[in-house]
Amino acid sequence: MEHTSDSLININNKPEGSYSFLIDNIKTLLIVLVVFNHLIAFQLVKYDQVASFIRYGVTLFHMPAFIFVSGYLSKREHSVLHNMKTLLVPYVISYFIVWSCFRFFNGNEEFRILIPIGGTWYFLVLFIYRITCGGISKIRWCIPVTILVGLLAGTQTDFSIFLTMSRAIVYYPFFLAGYFWTSPQTQKLRQSKWKWCLLIIGLLFFFLISWYFMKHGLTVNILKQDRCYSKAGLSNLKGIVLRSLMYMGAFSLTFSIMAFMSDKKTPFSYLGKNSVSIYFFHYPLLFVSNRLGFLSQPLTLNWAAHILITILTVLLTGSAPVNRAFKAIMNKVTAIVFCE
């Protein structure tokens, strides 16, 4: 059986309507932002304020937008077993790879598989959404309700990095919004004259939130939504206000991308289809490169080098051979672990 890690991953779950490259192109853009954001976090942000500014802005929306797309592609229901094969297996393997890298270079990294590390959290969060969405989506006004829960969750220390519960709760509205989103709504949005206002609003949030965080020296972890307000150094009131602004900014930018992204095939559309292999392999590759000193050399501590490294990383990990290798590994592991 062919392995089909979906959502980030492939468009076999595409909702109603004829095939469009819109989702592939959106995933291509977002996975490039994921790689770039992880890359600049290793060294460049230490030396370049513009990099720090951009990191704040990208962190504001790139994973919420990815989760929106994941919800959009999750309309077809699958069994728990299917989701275990396509999401938990990649999570466990990616965790082991990243943990091994941390252990080799750091020497004292504990093996705590229930606390995701190095970007592995996405697979676990998506698994949680997939197995709970059938019930949660039946709640009246479920999107406003989950936004309210996301705001209040930050006041509770129980919701933290364990099982990535903080992110799972805070990002749930984006998954539900994508889950309920339809192709006719996409067309209506793309044809609306108000889409330019939406884009301006989204860009204002991007720049104002980045400016505010830099001015006050706030940690980017606040925008990652992986901890309660107090552990991020915020009062509950300030945390709720900032998270509310995050919701507004991330939704504005997500819908702006939906409105303006090309729906035509491009030379890079295939990277959207192969985005799971990029997501799976890029972080350990960049982490090892950094620990070996490649990213801290004068030759690489500049924008041109980081853009080039981002492009090469995406093209390598999103290439057909790497994507086939990823699928082969997942198929082999699932065949060993599960009875068919």
Cα(140)–Cα(176) distance, rounded to whole angstroms? 12
Cα(23)–Cα(43) distance, rounded to whole angstroms? 31
Q: pLDDT for 82-91, tens place per residue? A: 999 999 999 9
Place of tokens 């390598």: 316
Cα(171)–Cα(184) distance, rounded to whole angstroms? 24
pTM above 0.85, yes or no: yes
Cα(130)–Cα(127) distance, rounded to whole angstroms? 5
Q: How confident is the model at residue 127 (pLDDT cuts 50, 70, 90)?
A: very high
Cα(195)–Cα(247) distance, rounded to whole angstroms? 18
Cα(141)–Cα(143) distance, rounded to whole angstroms? 6
Token pair for 202: 């989204």
Q: How confident is the model at residue 77 (pLDDT cuts 50, 70, 90)?
A: confident
Q: pLDDT for 83-112, tens place per residue? A: 999 999 999 999 999 999 999 998 888 999
- DSSP 8-state class, residue 292: T
What pLDDT is recorded for position 19? 52
Q: pLDDT for 254-288, tens place per residue? A: 999 999 999 999 999 999 999 999 999 999 999 99
Q: How confident is the model at residue 10 (pLDDT cuts 50, 70, 90)?
A: very low
Average pLDDT in the 137-160 region? 94
Average pLDDT in the 132-139 region? 94
Give first-to-last CA distance, the chain, whole Å: 10
What pLDDT is recorded for position 340? 66
Percent of the chain with pLDDT over 90: 86
